[in-house]
Structure formats: C-alpha cells, structure tokens
Amino acid sequence: MNRHLSGSTLMAFCLGLILLAGGSHLAAQTSPAATTDRIAQLESQVRNAQSSADNAWMLVSAALVLLMTGPGLALFYGGLVRKKNVLATMLQSFAMMALVTVIWGIVGYSLSFGSGNSFIGGLHNIFLHGVGVQPDTDYSATLPAQTFMVYQLMFAIITPALITGAFAERMKFSAMLLFMTLWSLIVYAPMAHMVWGKGGWLNAALGGRFPSLDFAGGTVVHITSGVSALVCAAYLGRRLGYPKEPMPPHSVVLSFVGACLLWVGWFGFNAGSALAASGLATSAFVNTHFAAAAAVIGWAGAEWLRNGKASALGAISGAVAGLVAITPAAGFVTPMSSLFIGLVAGGCCYFMVAKVKSWFGYDDSLDAFGVHGAGGTIGAVLTGIFATSSINPIYHNQRGEVLPSGVVDGNWVQLGNQFVAVLIAWVLAIVGTFVILKVVDLLIGLRVPADHEVQGLDLSQHGEEGYYWELSAS
C-alpha cells in the first residue's frame, strides 16, 4: 500500500517533468531559427536513411554480380567443355576476377566513368583518385562513389569472362590474359563510357547525342562480348577434330548449377542497375525474372518441336538467353513485354546455336555469340520498341513534362537510336577485337600447340587435373 502510494507519487512527478520538458520544447519551437535547424537536421537524417538503404542494396547487388562470374559462369562453361579442359575453362572466368579488378583500379574505372570526351573517359580518376565515399552526383546522389565504382567493376569482370566461351579448349593462358587486358581498355572502357559515362555519346540519362536505352548492359556487356566472341572463334579457328569428333558437354550437371546461379545473380545485375533500392529496381527485378521464364519455354519448346524432346541443357541455355535479352530493357518495359522479349530471345538463340552456327561452320565452342551476341542484339532492338515512360519516365522536355520513351509510346526515333548503339557496339567489338588478336598473335601466339590441345589445357597449361580420381590414386 505504502509502496503503491510512493509509486503513484513518482509517476505524477515524472508526468510533471515530461510536461515541463514538453513546454520548454514548445517554447523552443516558436523560435524560427531553431525550427529551421530542426528541419535541416530531419532532412539530413532522411538523406542518410535513403543513402543507407540504397547503399545496402547496391553492395548486395555488387556481390550478386560477382557471383555470376564465379561460380556461375565458371560452372556453366566448365560443364560444357570436355573434362580435360574443365579447370582451364573455369580458371579463365576466375582469372578475370583478379585481372580486371587490378586494371579497373589503376585505369579502367577512369577510362569508363571519369569525365572525358564523348567516346572515352579521361585520366582524372586513375588509381581511383577522387573516388571515395562521397557520392558522385552525376551517377547517384545517394551512393558512395566507391559503391558505384565496385558495382561497375563487377560488370567489367563478367563481360570479358563471357568471351572465353568462344575460344574454350584451345587458347594459351598467357595469350588470354594479354588479350583480356587490352580488350578491357580498348573495347569495354569506351563502350561503357559512351553508354553510361558522363558526356557519353549514347548516354540517355546524361543527355548524349544519340540517347540509347541500355538499362544494364545489352550493348555494353552482351553485344561487345558476344560479337568479340565471334571474332575470336573465327580468328583462332576450330578446335582440332571439330566438327567430326564428338565433343559433348562433360557435365550438364555443373552447367545446370551454374545457370541457376546466373539467374539469381542477374537480379543484382539488372535490378541493381536502378542504382537505388527503388520501385524501378523492383520493376527491373520482375522483368528479369519474367523474361528468363519465358525464354526457358521458348528454347525448350523449340527443341521439343524439332527433336521431340525438351532437354535440360536447352532449358538452362534458354534461361540465359532470356536474361541476356532483358538486360537492356529491364528498367524500361512492362512485365508482359518482358514475357514477349524472353520468348523471342529463347526461340531465336536456339535457332542461332542449333542452325546458324553449323551453316557458317565457325566453332564458337560454348555459344558465346549465339547467346550473348544474338540475345543482346535482340534485346537492344526490342528495348527501343517496348520502352515506356509509364515504367521509367527517362525523357523530359524543358518544362519537366514526361516525353515518350519507345515505339509503344509513339517515339520511333528511339528505335533508330537503338540501332545506332547496336551498330557502334558491333563495329567497336569487331575492329577492336581483331586488332587486339592480331597484336597478341604476333607477340606471343594465341593457340596452344596441337599436342597440348589433345592432352587438354588442364594439364598442358596448368599442370593439374579436374578429376584426379580417374588415375585410381589410392
């Protein structure tokens, strides 16, 4: 009883204190200077909260995109080669994670995203000079510049790794490293700068001369890598014994796991390209998923019609083709357009690898061109058709009114701009890759000797084997 009384006294005392405090607060709020301070403080807290949310999503996205190269692409490609080349093939992807990272820090980022001319960035940011935790507001007002830098690095890693599928099972490791070093600087950096860099010729967000829509890298990543892959396959020539000797994938199981990881990682690739934890990211996420699903049906369905069977390899190849094609469109189109884009890409890419490749006779060993070159081109063109301002109001006039995006909105010019971007990407990839191959060929030679090719690259290039148990080691 006594305790209860003292308790209620205490409560009354506290209440009095709170009221007093509230009263003094009220008094403080009447002063305009204090109100301004308070609002400024709140605004800064809101900014910090938004920055934290965006940064959290973008760091996760960067990690997801790295996951696409290793283990995703490494497993996907590793399973498709013969078992004597499994490690060499996986290492070619993994090596990009090391090599391109170093190049990116020294000069690659600056050439891609530093300010420069319409075609390539300058050298202001070499050695990551001036790239710190403060945002680079040209690219994002909420992200630390290093988050943007490291996110873009993951794209610069996977793009050359995609090319390795074309010259699998026959290129020298040393030649591959030199080729990729030059390719990163001569093909990737200018293309990334033109499409995404400040001042870039094709940049839609920052007022380029021919604004082309490429949300996550249809031209920058997939056309450049896919078309370069075709040039590599043609320049290096066929593998010994191709197409007479059977060269079936040694483990579709590995490829299967790799493709599933690619699908998941692609959410970071496409939804992350919103550069914010925003509704646009959700839109890109949903579109990515829908296109992949439709493309599985497109590819496997085409197989079913032609061979009477749908295959696991067909289903996973279809998924990758759909993911490639939706990449430029992810942040511009509706989910129903994505289904259409995926279905078309699945069917067309199947046709490319199953028919067109054998008509022309080039040995694009793992179909880097058939999937990435063709899928990227289809995606880039269809983006110009299906982009709509209802999903992403990217164009405005001087009064701030929203302008139409793609053909579905009535903007036919966009389709022309998409073709310009596609053409530039093709030409840059063909010319750049050819010149680099020629130089590397003259300097150190591209192909392994025939006996090394027969022995397999695992042993001849790296002195190890993927599956040691076959030697019945006890």
Binding residues for other proteins, per CB under 8 A? 243, 246, 248-249, 252, 303, 306-307, 309, 311, 313-314, 317, 350, 353-355, 358, 367
- Which residue's CB is nearer to other proteins, number 214 or number 364? 364
Residue 308: alpha-carbon gap to chain centroid: 34
**Tokens matching residue 457:** 């690259």
**Smallest gap, in angstroms, from Cβ of residue 437 to other proteins?**
25
CA pair distance 331, 471, nearest whole angstrom: 51
Minimum distance from CB of 309 to other proteins (Å)?
Answer: 8
Q: Which two tokens stand for residue 9?
A: 């006294």
- Please identify, using beta-carbon distances, which residue of 48 and 358 lies nearer to other proteins: 358
Report, in Å, the least distance between residue 307 CB and other proteins. 5
Amino acid at 252: V
Residue 470 Cβ vs other proteins, minimum distance, rounded to whole Å? 12
Q: Which of 370, 232, 391, 271 is nearest to 314 (CA)?
A: 370
Give the span between the Cα atoms of 38 and 29, in whole angstroms.
9
Question: Least distance in Å: CB of 471 to other proteins?
Answer: 16
**Smallest separation, CB 317 to other proteins (Å):** 7
Q: How far apart are CB 127 and other proteins at their closest, in Å?
A: 44
- Chain CA centroid to CA 144, Å: 20
Nearer to other proteins, 238 or 462 (CB): 238
Smallest distance from the beta carbon of 280 to other proteins, in angstroms? Answer: 35
Shortest Cβ 162–other proteins spacing (Å): 17
Of the two residues 47 and 306, which places its CB atom closer to other proteins in the complex?
A: 306
Upper half-sphere CA count for residue 61 (Cβ side, 13 Å): 31
**Residue 344 · residue 337 · CB < 8 Å:** no
Taking residue 33's Cβ as centre, other Cβ atoms within 10 Å add up to 7
Task: Specify the residue, 357 or 447, whose C-beta has the smaller distance to other proteins.
Answer: 357
Q: Residue 262 or 275: which CB sits closer to other proteins?
A: 262
Q: Which is nearer to other proteins, 77 or 109 (CB)?
A: 77
Planar angle of CA 135, 137, 139, nearest 5 degrees: 95
CA distances from 26 to 16, 19, 32, 467 (A): 15, 10, 12, 76
* Nearest partner of 159 among 222, 110, 90, 202, judged by Cα: 222
Nearest approach, Cβ of residue 246 and other proteins (Å): 4
- Other residues' Cβ atoms within 10 Å of the Cβ of residue 474: 3
Helices 32-67 and 252-271, interaxial angle, to 10°?
160
- From residue 409, alpha-carbon distances to 58, 77, 339, 386 in Å are 30, 39, 19, 8
H/E element, 153: helix 145-163
Q: For residues 82 and 289, which CB has a smaller minimum distance to other proteins in the complex?
A: 82
Q: How many helices (H) and strands (E) does the chain have?
A: 19, 0
Minimum CB distance to other proteins smaller for 208 or for 314 = 314
Tell me the C-alpha distance between 107 and 232, whole Å. 25
Minimum CB distance to other proteins smaller for 308 or for 400: 308
Q: Is 447 helix (H, G, I), strand (E, B) or coil?
A: strand
Closer to other proteins at the Cβ: 209 or 306? 306
Closest CA to 154 of 89, 73, 79: 73
The pair of structure tokens assigned to 362 is 């080039």
Residue 73, helix vs strand vs coil: helix
The backbone torsions φ and ψ at residue 131, rounded to the nearest 5 degrees and listed phi first, read -105, 95
Instruction: Write down the least CB distance from residue 425 to other proteins, Å.
Output: 25
